[in-house]
Each structure stands twice: as structure tokens, then as C-alpha cells.
Structure 1
Amino acid sequence: MSSSASDDASARPASKGERTRQRILETALSMFAERGYDKTTMRAIAGEAGVSVGNAYYYFKSKEHLIQGFYEQATMRHAELAPAVLEGQATLADRIEAALLAWLDIAGPYHDFAGQFFRNAADPSSPLSPFSEESAESRERDIALYREVLEGSKTKVPGDMADILPEMLWLHQMVVVLYWVYDDSPDQEKSRELARRTAPLVARVVALSRLKILRPLVKQGEELIRDFLITRRPK
């Protein structure tokens, strides 16, 4: 992906505090890639970023919250790219695929150390969990993107399913993300192939949700998601 210099400039944080926060985050991600997540300390990050340790902790309460910053940054970039990647994509399958591939492009540079921080994310009490309260804003941002994916497609979505289907599509993305974490193929091409091959299947399931005969099954799936997966909402 490429972008113009003017686009990059307009996307830069405006205030001094925002620029400092961004510098700390970018420094941390670079050091995680070079040294590994577990071997990189907040003190080392602060030193490399040219700020005091106290200042680093002012912007990020812990090293885990630096990864939370990455999640936030990634979902914001994902939302920014959505209009361009979805433009001209009419079918739901194509729109799902485009959204998934865009996320893989954004996350790609961080793959080398993804497994390290995803081990932390597997801890239900960790703020890195995609289901945590700390992740709520980023999670909702990506769910909103998949609402856009649905609304711009030719597939008609039943009114009573309009709320849960974007969450189901986000969960599909989480499956692709989990595969991507462990994907050792060149440039994680297998993850891209997984996105391409599962997008039509998911789109088909969404289309079938309109059939009355399948509505009880779809409703059961909705209840499972609400009761066991999407359980935490921003307050």
C-alpha cells in the first residue's frame, strides 16, 4: 500500500502530547520487532524514545498498554482505508475479502513478534485480549467497519440481524488473525488465501440467514455469541 506525503502529514498527531505518545508507541513496536516483546523493558523504550520513564508510564500504564496502542492504531488505520478498499466492491464476498486483506496489510510489518504479544492476549485478564474492556473501543471500531461492509453490499440483511452480523464478521476476522499469528508461509500468503477462500463461505451464510427455515439456527448462533463471546461493552 502507498499513500501521499500530504496524506501522511495530515494523519500525524497534532499536539505535542499526541506526538510524544506516538513516538513512544513507534519506538516500542520497533524494539519489539528487533529484541522481542519479553526482552524489551519500559525503561529501554523510554530511553530510546528520548523521554523519562515516568513520562512513558504517563502515556502507557504498562508495556501491555503499548500493544493496546498498536491495536488502536491498527483499527484506526483499518477504518481509514475502508472507503478506498471497498470502493467498487459490490458483492458481500468481495467486500469481506477486501476488508480482511486490508487488515493483513496493516498488520504485516509486525508479524515477526506477533506471537509474543498474542500469548499475552490469550490471558482473559490481560488488556490485550480482543474481548477485554480495554479493547472495547478498538473492537467496536472494527465491528463498525464490518457494518459498512454489509450495508454497502447487494446482500439484503434481515432487520433483526443487522446488529449481530457485523459482530459475526469481526469474529471471522479474529479467526484469520489467529491463523496469521502462526502462519510461517512467505509473507503469510496462506493467511491471504484463507481470507480469499473463506470470504465467499461467510457471505453465503449471511445470505442464508434470510431463509425462515434457518432462522432458528441463526438465532442460536446469535445467542452463543452474545452470551459467551461479545460480552463486554464500553461503558
Structure 2
Amino acid sequence: MPDPAPRSPKAEQTRRAIVEASMRLFRSKGFDGTTMRGIADEAGVSLGSAYYYFAGKEHLIQAFYGQMQEAHLAAAAQALTGTTAFADRLEGVLAAWVEVAEPYHEFAGTFFKNAAEPTSPLSPFSPESSGAREASIAIFREVLDGSDLKVTPALRPHLPELLWLLHMGMVLFWVYDASDGRRRTLALAHGVAPLVDKLGRLSRVPVVRGAVTDLVSLLESLRA
């Protein structure tokens, strides 16, 4: 659904205030316990204004996804600067996400409970999440394109999305990670990046190439 609000500085400030208010209430009351009226009161705007910017709570979560994606993009740009080593680039981007997501970990379970429902618009796989999803896949495309990793041509166009799926698995691990500063999630990123690098390079080995071709065919059939 297109955002009907004009992108003037005042409108953007109001829009962000509503999103930030919703995040505070989602944290304290949970997603189900938060109402649009409560969000409007918390943000200091009228209920009509809240609905002018957002059609409902789900759209507020989508706006939050967008803000998170902007923050991850900025942090990822720093992580990608100065290195072409694929493993370093991948680890840097995965770790950058952990860094920008850390302030929201305490109520990540609230999001996950709703996003895990396959038909929910909050799912990262939903049509409503397509903008944030494609933006995230684009980051992993940049990880690959600027790197020294050479993979079989059949696999290369699919690899950014596969890396995004890997990232989604790490996000799930992060949701349940109770270690200080998400130390275990960062260790996972540190360990998985060189593993993916090795597997990618193996895709060019003749004895492995056939299995990779079969994998690509399977992926294409699932997308059909």
C-alpha cells in the first residue's frame, strides 16, 4: 500500500514519531495489547493523523522494517569498504545487522510471534514485506559483486537470495540468543562466513558442479 503522506520534513518527523511510539508500546504491551489509539496518544497526535500515515499496526511494523533496513544499509556500507575478501564482507554485513538490531532484541519475540504466521503481512516472506526483503537481498548482492568469490555461473544469480535466506536463519538464532551483546550470534556469523566462502568456491569443481546444477534447477522449480 503506498504511503499517502507527503515527504516534507514535518511529515517525516511526524511519521517517525508515530513509529517510535509504536515501538515503545509494542515493547511494553505487546503487539496484541497495543492499539492505534494508544499509539496516537503516545505520539501526541490525533487518531485520524495516525491512520493518515498508517492504515494499521501491521503497516507500522513494515515502517519499522524499512527503518531497520536503512540502518543496516548504512552499517553494511562501512563493513564492505576496503576489502574484497568474500568471507570478510559476508561476516561484516551479518555482524552489522546484529549491531543495528541490538536495541530491539528485548522485544524481538513480540515480532517473531506474529511474523512466524505464514499468512501474516509481518512475515519477511509476505508481499507486504517485499520492499524490505528486496533491499536486504540487494545488500547481499553487493557483498558478492564486490568480492573475490568465484562461483559457477548457474549459481551466481541465485546466491544473493540464498545468502538472504541464511541471514533469515541467523535472525531466528538471534531472537533466541540470550548471551551478552548477542555474542553467540556474532560467533555464528564469524564461523559461517568462511564456510559459505569454501562451499561457494567448491561449486566450480567439476565433481560438485553437477550437484549445484541440480540445486539451481530445484530452486527454479520452486519459484515457478
Q: Shared topology, TM-score over 0.5?
A: yes
Contact 1:77/1:106, CA 8 A, preserved across alignment: yes
Matching residue of 1:220? 214
Conserved 8 A contact 1:92-1:153? yes
Matched, 1:32 2:13: no
Change (3 A) 1:207 1:35: same
Separation (CA, whole Å) in 2 of partners of 1:163 and 1:195: 23
After superposition, the Cα gap between the structure-2 partners of 1:53 and 1:161, relative to the gap in structure 1 and judged at 3 Å, is same
Structure 2 counterpart of 1:214, one-letter code = V
* Residue 179 of structure 1 pairs with residue 173 of structure 2: yes
- Preserved contact between residue 203 and residue 212 of structure 2 (Cα < 8 Å): yes
Q: Which runs of 5+ in 1 are unaligned?
A: 1-12
Aligned to 1:113: 107
Alignment of 1:101 with 2:98, yes or no, is: no
Residues 86, 144 of structure 2: 8 Å contact kept:
yes
Q: Tell me what 2:194 maps to.
A: 200
Equivalences for 1:135-150 in 2 at 5 Å? 135-150=129-144
Q: CA deviation at 1:14?
A: 4.7
Q: Does 1:164 align with 2:162?
A: no
How far 1:57 moved relative to its partner?
A: 2.0
Amino acid at match of 1:74: M
The CA distance in 1 between the partners of 2:221 and 2:12, in whole Å, is 37
Match of 2:50 in 1: 56
| Structure 2 residues without counterparts, runs of 5 or longer | 1-6
How far 1:204 sits from its partner (Å)?
1.3
Contact 1:38 / 1:116 at 8 angstroms: preserved in 2? Answer: no
CA RMSD of aligned residues (A): 1.9
Contact 1:90 1:152 (8 Å CA) reproduced: yes
Q: In structure 2, what is the equivalent of residue 9 of structure 1? A: none
Moved more, 104-113 or 22-31: 22-31
Q: Which moved more, 1:175-184 or 1:61-70?
A: 61-70
Residue 135 of structure 1 aligns with an amino acid whose one-letter code is: S
Residues 198 and 79 of structure 1, relative CA distance in 2, 3 Å threshold? same
- AA partner of residue 201 (structure 1): L
What displacement does 1:100 show? 0.3
Q: Structure 1 vs Structure 2: percent identity of aligned residues?
A: 49
| Other structure's SS at 1:130 match | coil
Inter-partner Cα distance in structure 2 for 1:131 and 1:194:
23
Matches within 5 A, 1:58-137: 58-137=52-131
Asked whether the 8 Å contact 1:37–1:113 carries over to 2, the reply is no
Please give the TM-score of this superposition, normalised by the length of structure 2.
Answer: 0.89
> Structure 2 vs 1, CA of residues 97 and 44 (structure 1 numbering), >3 Å: closer, same or farther?
same
Question: How much has 1:178 moved relative to structure 2?
Answer: 0.3
- Check 1:226–1:68 CA distance in 2 against 1; reply closer, same or farther (3 A cut): farther
Aligned length: 218
Deviations 1:132-185 (A, max 9, x none): 111111111111111110111111233332220001111110010000011111
